Structure 1
Amino acid sequence: MALATATIDFSALRANLARVKELAPNSQVMAVLKANAYGHGLVPIAQQLAGADAFAVARIEEALALRTGGITKPIVLLEGFFKASDIDIMLANNFQTIVHDEYQLAALEQAQLSGQIKVWLKVDTGMHRLGVEPQQFEQFYQRLKGCANVHEQLHLMTHFACADELENSYNQTQLATFTTLVSDKPAPLCLANSAAIINYPQSHGHWVRPGLMLYGVSPVQGKTSSELGLQPVMSLTSEVIAVRRVKKGEPVGYGGHWQASADTQLAVVAIGYGDGYPRHAENGTPVLINGRRYPLVGRVSMDMISVDIGADNQSVAVGDDAIMWGAELGIEEIASCASTIAYELLCNITPRVTYQYLN
């Protein structure tokens, strides 16, 4: 039996990269692969993105895994380095780094290196997470330009806080702040994440850095992936392992969280939060079996969920495939039913799930 399986469609992945290039034809593409390529498999995904100009990860361990996997393209550390001892590793592996604070800048200035490291200076224009303050920008820029350990070509970056909200004026405020700061700097610029690539073409700059949209998930509020020309890359499936009857009034699952309102049948599917399916998926969350949507009932268990297939259903049997999300059932809908976001569902896939890659 093929139980919990994440099927990854490489053709959809490549189509989504093509869509990025269609939307931002004058920008280079930094494909974001952090968190195991959003749960899709770090190295296999990178190997299929030959059309990307660079890759971005969050941690140096992810970057090293890419190099071990044979990836030779430029790799950017989106959070920079955390220890001065990482600088030699970055140089040896040709990693590029974000600089967002004084510690990182001073460590680069004090390092004894045999070569230079390419740096992306990150400015905090309103996200208030990482980045130098606007009033610090000029000082950081000049110090990096004067640092013998830093490559002469600096890159400048910022990050939008609300790019998924088209009408949010804060995006324009951030864009104006960044544009004013860098107006006299001959440096490549990078502002647009997935949502900004779609919502704010004026922010594309020399580089764009798509993440979620590469995996075929909508990064924009109120828009589905298909409406945006994206194709879901992952389908999460399992199988029906039991079909059983319950009578009206009988409780199902831990805590009797759901009770049958009439005599019915349940299909028990071998997937649960131990595989990454969201424990807080509410009653009624759709599951697709044989092309038909059925509602989840009862609490999600570690290894199983129950689906109400109706009293007279004779078309669902043990061994039938059950789709949790994929091309036929959008992950955005499942995330909404679990009061979370698609990012979390993708990143929560556990090692117990089998990966299957389709070209």
Structure 2
Amino acid sequence: MNMIEAINSAHKVMMARDPDVVVFGEDVGYFGGVFRATAGLQEQFGKQRCFDAPISEGGIVGTAVGMAAYGLKPLIEIQFADYIYPGYDQIVSEVARMRYRTAGEWTMPMVIRSPYGGGIFGGQTHSQSPEALFTHVAGLKVVIPSTPYDAKGLLIAAIEDPDPVVFFEPKRIYNGPFDGHHDRPVTPWAKRPEAQVPDDYYTVPLGQARIAREGAELTVITYGTMVHVAVAAAEDNGVDAEVIDLRTLVPLDIKTIEASVKKTGRVLVVQEATRTSGFGAELAALVQERCFYHLEAPVERVAGWDTPYPHAYEWAYFPGPKRLKMALEKVMAD
């Protein structure tokens, strides 16, 4: 399966397994989603369990809050992460706080799915990476898969979690992994082991990182699309780098990070989002706090520009092979 097919499979498995799972959002019903992630759900499970919502992200999230408090498990789609801001107040003020404000009497077993990041020349309103805004909100879990296998397993785990999960899907790798080279064809998922996705039920635990590439000289900490860019950069430049795919930003698998950094002594953090106040800054701070005496060089960061997303310069905005090569050389030279 590619990532879209894996996400679709997770929907079907959980809707068949649990009658409380309800799917809705903009164009997710009859049309099957703008990226086809919900294709066939309405036909298979009916309009009561998979239906289209008005163009009102605040209304979509607010309705899901009521459903979750009632005991259902809403699985909602925000068509693009850039559209999530009208629903941000509901997410911060209601979704994230419900367990705390009711002293645990009510939970919010809901998942907010959304395609995020660049790669489709969508410009400023279809390409943003707002994950840091949600990692800062206590009460939310934030998940970003990088492979079809993880996408399905993490989504099922998120649906079963009693607390709210924001599930960002890197749309640049929906159909195939992305190594950052503009002129290099994308390797289809079908030719990669991470695409061997079981048809039936399985989970990937939240809060458990994956070693995407083992190494001993340097640790690269990243997530989503940038996992593939980091692995390609290490292999292209002959650096024995260990690449950590976080999978979930909250909860964070700090033990895997610590173990790797104490082994290598050098750290590069990579994110697609803008640099200032990005999640990479939190990662750099945690490494400094927990592994300072094991570091052989300062922690280096590679990120997107501190600018609104540039449509015409999308490939320059991406942390790509050239920028990662420079960062790898800098860390190794110190």
TM-score, normalised by the number of residues in structure 2: 0.28
Name the structure where helix makes up a greater proportion of residues: 2
Which protein is bigger by CA-based radius of gyration? 1
Name the structure where strand makes up a greater proportion of residues: 1
TM-score, normalised by the number of residues in structure 1: 0.27
